Structure 1
Amino acid sequence: MDTRGERVEPFSLRRRATVDSMRMAGRRSDIHGLVEFDVTDARTRIDELEHATGERLSFTAFIVFCLAQAIDAQPHVQAYRDALGRVVRFDDVDVMVIVETTVSGEQIGVPHVIRTANRRSLHSIHREIRRAQTTSDVPQFSQFAPLFFRLPGVLRRQIYRLPRLAPRRWKQLAGTVGVSAVGMFGAGGGWGITPTNYPLQLTLGGISTKPGVKDGDIEIRDYLSVTATFDHDVVDGAPAARFLTHLKELVESAHGLDTIAE
């Protein structure tokens, strides 16, 4: 801090990865769907499970589970167009989530890929997220990361061209779809639009409480703001809408929560 009340600090090496990712994501043909999911029943069930077991089920795990099941039924939404103009579709649903954990004494959000989420139980996804939150063993910030971040930007950004150039390699590194929960940073409803390098990205916004209709009656309900971002090069609006309808049904029916033993 100098005498003028200004502070000048070095730009974090880790932030360079965010800059690179956003710059490359800005070149895509994305379409966005802003929707609301009624999560009242799901949150009630999670509260009941916590009361019965003493453990709080990850809400992100629940969303990831429903997302993976919806993609398993409609895999075309996670298709990639490769460098030869072909469409590459994967059977596995590998979901990238941002997990807040401690690295070198600093609390940060780091990417974590949940592999084959479409063939996993909700509880196993929950356990993996909890493990990722409590471990400091984060591969993305290995001893080689500082060297990578010091490369010229034009070289660093090549990794974010992999979805177009080599979708299989991108899947190995970063999964097939992404989930970002911006709602964790504030209270109330609201949507977020996140640039992405995935053919499908869910951005979870805030949860608002307002009147809704349930079984013909008006009552206070909890609504999650959700932004679904699709790569319009491979997914048209109508299939995207059908996918969102299916995902909404899974979330609003608290899919998978009744199969967890109390």
Structure 2
Amino acid sequence: MPPVESPRRQKIPEIIRPNRIACAFWSLNQEMTPAHKVNFVREIDATAMDRLRQETHNGEGLKPSYTALIVKAATIALKEYPYANRAILGPPFFRRIVQFNNMDITVAIERNVPQAESVVLADTILDTDRKSLVQITRELQHSLTADAEQHPRWKLFFTLLSKMPVFLSRWVIRAPRYLPNEWVKHRGNACFVNSPAKYGIDFVIADMIWPLTVMFGWVKERPIAIDGKVEVRKTMPLSIIFDRRIMAGAPAARFFNRLAEILENADCELR
């Protein structure tokens, strides 16, 4: 006679209530407009990037991060193709295309915020056209580790998320989309750089509130065709997401191909 099974005990799902920080941060998602976005993806040879990183380390004692290389390459490409450095800003019924002339590029910086795992600091590196790869790398390192008192942008952002009433912090966080001067002050220009590469992610396609997002994946050895032969080299998955209301496909492709060219010839282009 088979054993009698006891009735299965139903597990009741746990309801997690988002805290103030998460609720305020989620307001940024409301600015994303994936209906207007298009993405391009390609895999590029990272040999020249690694060569430049090692040479810089030998000469200056610090190896530039891949993020710094992307920021610098995007700076060059934006200067050559200024039509990529635009955004549609303004209040409803009064939105217009704004041309940015500054080279202040914003980068996603992960900060450890208890009970708010989704919070990312968007830190702007100012005047990237005037800074070296080493200077940009040091600023990125500072953004990762500095406490609030050492980092005014992080202090302001964390205060908005944790101290203000949620309805007010949401309004303040979203205000730059209506005011071009505030956009430049708090969000830089049109370009945002993001990467989940350190978590072992190859390709990522993620809409952001910036009209142009440059993303790269895990740099590692992969098979690649070189002069008709298959070789194993380090490669970088590279992608952009752009607002097609600002750039059509062909102009965006020219920008993207130039960006890839700069990175694949980094030891010449980024010195």
Question: TM-score normalised by the shorter chain: which range applies?
Answer: 0.7 to 0.9
Deviations 1:81-100, CA, capped at 9 Å, x for gaps? 23335321111122111223
Aligned counterparts of 1:130 and 1:222: Cα–Cα separation in 2: 24
For residue 238 of structure 1, what is the aligned residue in structure 2? 250
Among candidates 106, 109, 127, match of residue 99 of structure 1: 109
Residue 78 (structure 1) shift: 1.8
Among candidates 184, 187, 194, match of residue 174 of structure 1: 187
Aligned counterparts of 2:200 and 2:128: Cα–Cα separation in 1: 27
Residue 169 (structure 1) shift: 1.6
Residue 43 in structure 1 maps to residue 50 in structure 2: yes
Residue 101 (structure 1) shift: 4.3
1:138-177 to 2 correspondences below 5 Å:
138-148=154-164, 150-151=166-167, 156=170, 159-160=173-174, 162-163=176-177, 165-176=178-189, 177=191
From the superposition, tell whether residues 232 and 158 of structure 1 become closer, same or farther in structure 2 (CA, over 3 Å).
farther
Q: In structure 2, the residue corresponding to 1:170 is in which secondary structure?
A: helix
For residue 19 of structure 1, what is the aligned residue in structure 2? 26
Among candidates 103, 116, 134, match of residue 123 of structure 1: 134
Aligned counterparts of 2:204 and 2:124: Cα–Cα separation in 1: 21
- Flag structure 2 segments of 5+ consecutive residues without an equivalent: 1-9, 149-153
**Higher alpha-carbon deviation: 75-84 or 127-136:** 75-84
For residue 71 of structure 1, what is the aligned residue in structure 2? 78
TM-score scaled to structure 1, two decimals? Answer: 0.81
Residue 118 (structure 1) shift: 2.4
Aligned counterparts of 1:237 and 1:8: Cα–Cα separation in 2: 44
Cα pair 2:36 2:245 within 8 Å, conserved: yes
**Higher alpha-carbon deviation: 235-244 or 114-123:** 114-123
What percentage of aligned pairs have identical amino acids? 23
1:242-253 to 2 correspondences below 5 Å:
242-253=254-265
- Flag structure 1 segments of 5+ consecutive residues without an equivalent: none
Among candidates 23, 33, 36, match of residue 29 of structure 1: 36
Among candidates 77, 89, 97, match of residue 82 of structure 1: 89
Cα pair 1:160 1:197 within 8 Å, conserved: no
Aligned counterparts of 2:108 and 2:183: Cα–Cα separation in 1: 17
Higher CA-based Rg:
2
Cα pair 1:42 1:257 within 8 Å, conserved: no
Cα pair 2:52 2:267 within 8 Å, conserved: no
TM-score scaled to structure 2, two decimals? Answer: 0.79
For residue 234 of structure 2, what is the aligned residue in structure 1? 222
Deviations 1:154-175, CA, capped at 9 Å, x for gaps? x725743633x32232121111
Aligned length: 252
Letter in 1 for 2:141: R
